[in-house]
Structure 1
């Protein structure tokens, strides 16, 4: 397990500590936030594939770089 996963698990576990009002609502909010982040990654990576070669050059990427990044899965 990588460090970031450990932090996420700890954050979820913290929502269920006695005296915490968040409970399932807090977990649902965290899941919703995670899904929104993944959707944003997917949109930005797809937009990268639509850029022209001149636009890619402006941001310092080659077509191969854009292709490699644009085809990564949204959870990565």
Structure 2
């Protein structure tokens, strides 16, 4: 066995260790959870903006928003 084979073989053993795999899985779960929370926030923002579009002028006046402001906010993309 030459030096390159030794390093390659040693690296493969490291990645097959349960603790390394578990750490990798934990990171994937964390990232997926973060993405899910971000999507949930964006969708909640979108629902709120759509609700503005459905409000009456009187309801908008109660919360201090003009019809024009509600329209501009309501048509914004969910990611903004």
- TM-score scaled to structure 1, two decimals? 0.71
Superposed displacement of residue 20, structure 1? 7.9
Unaligned runs of 5+ in 1: 1-18
Alignment-derived partner of residue 5 in structure 1: none
Structure with the greater alpha carbon radius of gyration: 2
* Alignment RMSD: 1.5
Runs of 4+ that moved beyond 3 A: none
Which of 24, 44, 65 aligns to 1:40? It is 44
How far is the alpha carbon of 1:22 from its aligned partner? 2.8
TM-score (norm 2): 0.68
Paired position in structure 2 for 1:56: 60
Q: Mark the runs of 5 or more structure 2 residues left unpaired by the alignment.
A: 1-22
Structure ranking higher in helix proportion: 2
